[in-house]
Structure 1
Amino acid sequence: MPEVIFNGPEGRLEGRYHHSKAENAPIALILHPHPQHGGTMNNKVVYNLYHAFARRGFSVLRFNFRGVGRSQGAFDNGQGELSDAASALDWMQSLNANADQCWVAGFSFGAWIGMQLLMRRPEIAGFVSVAPPANIYDFTFLAPCPSSGLIVHGTGDEIVPGAAVQKLATKLQSQKNITVEYRPVDGANHFFNNHLDPMVAVVDDYVARSLGRK
């Protein structure tokens, strides 16, 4: 799990990168929760997503948005963070020019950024959105959502009501040419405390099935 530093729009960005031993391995970018609420690339949900993709043979990058940890810059209400994510994807693609698939996964604020990145980067073939804050941020930009993916949400989430996420999932599920799965994790709160294993199991099952459909 080597530490990496790469150039972002506002200076250096700090990350952790796992390079798959498989030739032309798929790549995955993992995005962390809100920087102003303690979100970092070492968040437990982000850390577990990172390793779930690595175990499935992906080359995986997680990184700190601007102003977090050793990443330079200052919080920019999402716009700058989206640019950071695009730079991170560029950096990973420069090392994996022949990757056969590209995925993005995000938790909470990171899920919102990830879905915006999905709209801007047609090469992203799949997504995982964990606890997307559909009650806080506008997701209407997903019109239409260009890729199939997975939405995971805890039924005990005290920050993002399940009804808001269910509404988002239902809207995406009605779109043609893509398939969006909605998987609740029974009893899990927003941070999946004591429910990380079932969350990872849901993600791992989805990724395994998706890779099998290639």
Structure 2
Amino acid sequence: MPEVIFAGPDGRLEGRYHPQPERDAPIALMLHPHPQFGGTMNNRVVYNLHYTFHKLGFAVLRFNFRGVGRSQGEYDQGIGELSDAASALDWLQANNQNAKHCWVAGFSFGAWIGMQLLMRRPDISGFISLAPPANLYDFSFLAPCPASGLIVNGTADRVAPPRDTEALVAKLHEQKGITITHEQIDGAGHFFEDPHMDPTMAMVSAYVKRRLGETSR
């Protein structure tokens, strides 16, 4: 997979980009977990998300937030990381100017950043949030949530307890004009360890396929 370096708001950002031969292929941006707790673009969940989207025909970019790997800068409490994500999406769109659809997928801290990116970018048509840490971060900015998406958590998640995810979903369900699909993986922890990874990715794949099928009618 081609390594790419592109300009971010605080220096160069390192990524991995997997294009498609079709000029109008949809695009998807992957966002990794917390940089200060070992989160990188090569996190197993993010890696699997990347290939799940690519198998569905998306041109996919995952990248390291500032201060991670070869990406320049320092951790910025989520503020700078949101700007990094916006720059990454700019780069992805510039390299796929005929893309039919634009999705963002994030895991843990990356899910929080991804849902903030939704508020900035009305061109995002769908999202995947895996294990959003609703107990650790404020998601009240989703008022209203501008796009429909899928939220998935494990029933045995001790980092982001299911009750907090359920409360977040309940708030989003009150909003009109969008559909939030919520799925739980029975017995899965925060990192969707085996044997839960494959069922999680199958769930993501089925959801995205269904959404793409609805928009092509």
Q: TM > 0.5 between the two? A: yes
| Separation in 2, partners of 1:97, 1:199 | 30
What does residue 184 of structure 2 align with? 184
What does residue 3 of structure 2 align with? 3
| Separation in 2, partners of 1:158, 1:134 | 12
What does residue 21 of structure 2 align with? 21
CA-to-partner distance for each residue in 1:43-87, whole Å, 9 max, x for gaps? 000000000000000000000000000000000000000000000
| Separation in 1, partners of 2:63, 2:185 | 26
What does residue 197 of structure 2 align with? 196
Amino acid at match of 1:169: V
What does residue 214 of structure 2 align with? 213
User: How far did residue 148 of structure 1 move?
Assistant: 0.2
- The answer as to 2:151 corresponding to 1:147 is no
Segment drifting more, 54-63 vs 22-31: 22-31
Amino acid at match of 2:154: G
Unaligned runs of 5+ in 2: none
| Separation in 1, partners of 2:144, 2:113 | 16
User: How far did residue 23 of structure 1 move?
Assistant: 2.8
Which ranges of 4 or more aligned residues in structure 1 deviate by more than 6 Å?
A: none
CA-to-partner distance for each residue in 1:3-55, whole Å, 9 max, x for gaps? 00000011110000010112301100000000000000000000000000000
What does residue 88 of structure 2 align with? 88
Unaligned runs of 5+ in 1: none
What does residue 32 of structure 1 align with? 32
| Separation in 1, partners of 2:131, 2:199 | 14
Determine helix, strand or coil for the equivalent of 1:89.
Answer: helix
User: How far did residue 2 of structure 1 move?
Assistant: 0.6
| Separation in 1, partners of 2:44, 2:77 | 23
Amino acid at match of 1:205: A
Q: Percent identity?
A: 67
What does residue 108 of structure 1 align with? 108
Determine helix, strand or coil for the equivalent of 1:105.
Answer: strand
Does the 8 Å CA contact 2:32/2:110 hold for their aligned counterparts?
A: yes
Q: Following superposition of structure 1 onto structure 2, how do residues 54-73 of structure 1 map, counting pairs within 5 Å?
A: 54-73=54-73
Segment drifting more, 69-78 vs 170-179: 170-179
TM-score, scaled relative to structure 1 = 0.99
- The answer as to 2:174 corresponding to 1:174 is yes
What does residue 42 of structure 2 align with? 42
| Separation in 1, partners of 2:146, 2:86 | 17
What does residue 132 of structure 2 align with? 132
| Separation in 2, partners of 1:160, 1:28 | 24
TM-score, scaled relative to structure 2 = 0.98
